Amino acid sequence: MSEAQHPDNVIAPTGQGGAMDLAMDEGRTLEPYPSAASGGRVPGGPEGTGPERKPRSLWSDAWHDLCRNPVFIVSGLVIVFLVFIAIWPSAITSGSPLDCDLSKAQEGPQPGHPFGFDGQGCDVYTRTVYGARTSVTVGVCATLGVALLGSALGGLAGFFGGGSDAVLSRITDVFFGIPVVLGGLVFLSVVTNSTVWPVIGFMVLLGWPQVARIARGSVITAKQNDYVQAARALGASNSRLLLRHIAPNAVAPVIVVATIALGTYIALEATLSYLGVGLKPPTVSWGIDISAASAYIRNAPHMLLWPAGALAVTVLAFIMLGDAVRDALDPKLR
């Protein structure tokens, strides 16, 4: 037998044959390549790896990113604590925010009263705790109202287009030209009701155009996708297109804007209450306490420090939460 015909000198074809001969020489068994019949999973690999793993949706992927974001974790813990004391303030304080003693007016911290007393002799700690209820209520209700109204108007205008879209655009331009603080001074100065609902109504009245513009642009982008055109060609109604195909894919920008705006509405309520046109006594509010403490800032700075600090931490927590949600839901940032 010639040298070229010797079995050891046979040249195997390129590809799997050469690797199989090498494996046989080493006494090993070569596993076949993954195929469509095996589901594309690499044999012997860890479970859950390979092409057969179900891809995460936008929301599950965003939640996965949020759980690994320290900014979201810190701001979420602060917000959970604020919601807890807003619902159940008696869990961390046993006093009443309206229980005052003029003999202790402007006094500093004492045992059982760590924040001292205000100008009326009320416990600053108790009023700061109860003030969270008002701020959280105003912020959450105003955000829900703005998000629902703005999303509905902007989504419908973006979906149908035409005259309704043009009219909505001109109306939003008019509302954008109204200064928020000046509008609050004019609108709330004629309201005699001292509850939170006139303030919430004013915020919804001036806040919906921003969300409407965001929702309009998001719906216009979403309705041009291929799956919407396919559903329309199959005879899907307008309501089904909006609720099943467009809304779930256009709501992410609205959620981001609403989350960031929640902290802004809390600060706006405090500003209007400080100016005397928002909430009024006997309602307990951080803005009211800051307004009352501004006259005693030199003699009793503790009266201003604690409600102002609580307001700053609350607004910062919601803004940080909004930034984290924006980073998680924006595909360009992932």
**67 belongs to a structural domain:** yes
Q: Which pTM value belongs to this model? A: 0.77
Please report how the helices 197-222 and 124-160 are oriented relative to each other, as an axis angle in degrees rounded to 10: 40
Q: What are phi and psi of 122, to 5 degrees?
A: -85, 150
- Same-domain status, 111 and 241: yes
Cα–Cα distance for residue pair 167/162, rounded to 1 Å: 9
Q: Which residue range is the domain that position 258 belongs to?
A: 58-333
Tell me the per-residue pLDDT of 121-162, one tens digit each, with 9 for 90 and over. 999 999 999 999 998 999 999 999 999 999 999 999 988 888
**144 belongs to a structural domain:** yes
- Same-domain status, 38 and 182: no
- Same-domain status, 30 and 139: no
**2 belongs to a structural domain:** no
- Same-domain status, 36 and 72: no
Cα–Cα distance for residue pair 327/63, rounded to 1 Å: 11
pLDDT of residue 178: 87
pLDDT of residue 12: 43
Please say whether the beta carbons of 268 and 189 come within 8 A: no
Of 78, 290, 275, 282, nearest in space to 185 by CA:
275
Of 82, 113, 81, nearest in space to 99 by CA:
113
- Same-domain status, 237 and 174: yes
Tell me the three state secondary structure of residue 113: strand
Residue spans of alpha helices (H) in the chain? 16-25, 58-67, 70-87, 124-160, 162-176, 180-188, 197-222, 226-233, 238-240, 247-250, 252-274, 286-293, 302-329
Cα–Cα distance for residue pair 280/274, rounded to 1 Å: 10
**114 belongs to a structural domain:** yes
- Same-domain status, 111 and 238: yes
Kindly state the tokens that stand for 133.
């209820």
- Same-domain status, 319 and 187: yes
**9 belongs to a structural domain:** no
- Same-domain status, 40 and 151: no
- Same-domain status, 212 and 309: yes
Compute the half-sphere exposure of residue 147: CA atoms within 13 Å on the CB side of its CA: 20
- Same-domain status, 38 and 90: no
Q: Which of 6, 26, 54 is the last residue of a domain?
A: 54
pLDDT of residue 19: 41
Task: Report how many domains make up the chain.
Answer: 2
- Same-domain status, 48 and 111: no
Q: What are phi and psi of 117, to 5 degrees?
A: -125, 155
pLDDT of residue 145: 95
- Same-domain status, 172 and 151: yes
Compute the half-sphere exposure of residue 121: CA atoms within 13 Å on the CB side of its CA: 7
How far from 224 is each of 93, 212, 251, CA to CA, in Å? 55, 19, 15
Report, in angstroms and rounded to the nearest whole number, the Rg of the chain calculated over CA atoms. Answer: 31
Please say whether the beta carbons of 198 and 279 come within 8 A: no
pLDDT of residue 34: 46
**6 belongs to a structural domain:** no
pLDDT tens for each residue of the chain, 334 residues long = 444 444 444 444 444 444 444 344 444 444 444 444 444 444 444 444 444 556 666 677 778 888 888 999 999 999 999 999 999 998 998 888 988 988 888 888 988 899 999 988 999 999 999 999 998 999 999 999 999 999 999 999 988 888 888 998 889 889 888 888 888 888 888 887 778 899 999 999 999 999 999 999 999 988 888 888 888 888 888 888 888 888 888 888 899 899 889 999 999 999 999 988 888 888 899 999 999 998 888 888 999 999 999 999 999 999 999 888 888 887 665 5
Domain CATH for 125: 1.10.3720.10
